[in-house]
Amino acid sequence: MRILTLVMGTVLAFGFSAEVIAAEVLRAYGPGGPLPAMKEAAAEFGKLYNVAVEVTAGPTGNWLNKAKEDADLIFSGAEYMMTDFIKAMEGRIDESTVESLYLRPSAILVRPGNPKGIKKFEGLLKPSIKVLVVQGAGQAALWEDMAGRKGDIRTVRALRKNIVTYAANSAEARKAWIENTTLDAWIIWNIWQIANKELADLVPVSKEYRIYRDCGIALTQQGKDKESAQRFIAFLKSKTGRQIFAKWGWMSQ
């Protein structure tokens, strides 16, 4: 009893509660796109169930080895990305638990105030417009998919001619957008403008050129045996989870 009292006294002396110390920890890994929504959902889930969900996001190479050691959940930014994660995690993901959560549409980001007056996708095809695209990380072939939607090779040719920077991922693209102010437009998902409103304005893409990709989540072999990990996925699909993702630009129907 005396030992327990000393431990509790130490806990309180450092400003923690016994409840916080006792909280279960889940670890989730994935790309940067879904991060704002995933972090907010993790925080809300933690308040409700006293389970700390540590969310790590960014380029896969930055977290893959750690995820192999301790991941309970893996989230993605596209279906093909989840398939790549299943392979990269070398059997540690339970493929039967993959859940497709919410879609987001492709969009065009422009400089604040839209100085080049780009009002629609066709505006990217005008001579001298400098376009930034992301070549991977959930956006592989995105610009080509958009340009080729109507089956007109001239659109693909014109857009490619105007692309001046091919970023490996969204974080690299954001850095390029900040450092190279000659870039006029940035093809990416709408969610990036919501998370970076001070950097760009958003130009919606019409249905004839719009592409959608989703955020998905899956349990690892370690996580599938944890009731709290299964409950977190259920929370992401709940009304509260939908509202959080909608706040960050995801389609929540």
Mean pLDDT calculated for residue range 8-12? 37
> Which CATH superfamily is 105-212 part of?
Periplasmic binding protein-like II (3.40.190.10)
At 37, give phi and psi (nearest 5°): -70, -40
Closest CA to 224 of 71, 75, 86: 71
Assign 13 a pLDDT band (cuts: 50, 70, 90).
very low
Predicted model pTM: 0.89
pLDDT for residue 10 = 36
**242-251 average pLDDT score:** 98
pLDDT at site 252? 83
CB distance 32 to 60 below 8 Å:
no
Q: Is the pLDDT score of 27 beyond 70?
A: yes
Neighbours of 53 (CB within 10 A): 24
Query: What confidence tens digit (pLDDT) does each residue in 149-198 have?
Result: 999 999 999 999 999 999 999 999 999 999 999 999 999 999 999 999 99
| Per-residue pLDDT, 97 | 98
CATH topology of domain 2-102+214-247: D-Maltodextrin-Binding Protein; domain 2 (3.40.190)
Residue 73 has pLDDT above 70, yes or no: yes
Number of other CB atoms surrounding residue 149 within 10 Å: 18
**Three-class secondary structure of residue 77 per DSSP:** coil
> What share of the chain has pLDDT > 70, as a percent?
91
Domain chopping of the chain, boundaries: 2-102+214-247, 105-212
Give me Rg for the CA atoms of the chain: 21
Same fold, 2-102+214-247 and 105-212: yes
pLDDT score for 23: 74
